[in-house]
Amino acid sequence: MENITSKNNEKIKSAIAIRDSASQRKKNGKFFLEGARLCGDAAISGGDILQFFFTEKARAKFPEFFEKILSSAGESYCISEEVSRKLSDTQSPQGMFCVCKTGDKNISADKINHNGKYILLENVQDPSNLGAVARTAEAMGVDGLIVSGGCDIYNPKALRACMGAFFRLNIIECGDIIRFIKSAQAKGMKAFASTPDSEAVKITEVDFSGGVICIVGNEGNGVTCETMSAADAKITIPMQGRAESLNASTAAAILIWEMVRRGA
């Protein structure tokens, strides 16, 4: 097992590039994880761990996670505290980091469960929102989280916010969102686009039975006009206050809750 003590080590520099840049993640098909629990979740849930970086301290502090990650990882490196601080995105690094393979999450709408419940995020930008929705979707037992190209699900902040749900959740990337929706509809599924527009159908009046895809849009702009047009209906969460809209992850949570609760 190799030791790394230099912050300028090529493997460290390349891990940092993966951590910091969405385009590097896309180009290399890799993503970066930090934290004993999150790296452990990746190992337990069959994530494809290419590289594992750990400090001696972390090895001693999290022996259980350490063993699991070590046995799953392609390559493992013992790093100095200084290198750990360099790799870390947080104030108090735990000293465990992984670089994983993204894998191919592009699945055609023909191959999903046509009686299932799915939440689709279109261009949701805030990584904390992405992570929060993944966490809720997994907890509520949806059949999958579908993300459009504009959602950076491998962002380190998103991965931290989802608390490991990422590895247990069926995540699907759709290249062409309109085509995905139309294929799903051809298989008998319904697609509902959410909007703060109070003229839309209230979610309390929506029939969530059968195969359903609920769509939540970008924080500022909502669901795009094209996607809205492709949907079977525009739906809305009734509001009583003077707020113009709900936070995207809050809206998604209430939609998921209603879809799963009433659509069973």
Interface contacts to its own copies, rule CB under 8 A: 128, 132, 135-136, 138-141, 161, 163, 165, 168-169, 204, 237, 239-243, 245-247, 249-250, 253-254, 257, 260-261
Interatomic CA distance for residues 255 and 203, integer angstroms: 8
Comparison of 113 and 257: residue with beta carbon closer to its own copies = 257
Q: Six-digit token pair at 25?
A: 């993640």
Least Å distance, CB 133 to its own copies, is 9
Least Å distance, CB 19 to its own copies, is 19
- Let me know: does 230 contact 178? Beta carbons within 8 Å: yes
Comparison of 165 and 189: residue with beta carbon closer to its own copies = 165
- Taking Cα atoms as reference points, which of 145, 143, 203 lies closest to residue 174? 145
Interatomic CA distance for residues 189 and 203, integer angstroms: 17
Least Å distance, CB 159 to its own copies, is 14
Least Å distance, CB 256 to its own copies, is 9
Terminal-residue alpha carbon distance, the chain: 50
Comparison of 135 and 190: residue with beta carbon closer to its own copies = 135
Least Å distance, CB 141 to its own copies, is 3
- Using DSSP's 3-state secondary structure scheme, residue 252 falls into helix
Comparison of 14 and 170: residue with beta carbon closer to its own copies = 170
Interatomic CA distance for residues 31 and 13, integer angstroms: 14
Comparison of 29 and 196: residue with beta carbon closer to its own copies = 196
- Using DSSP's 3-state secondary structure scheme, residue 45 falls into coil
- Using DSSP's 3-state secondary structure scheme, residue 126 falls into coil
Comparison of 5 and 257: residue with beta carbon closer to its own copies = 257
Least Å distance, CB 241 to its own copies, is 4
- Taking Cα atoms as reference points, which of 109, 64, 99 lies closest to residue 79? 99
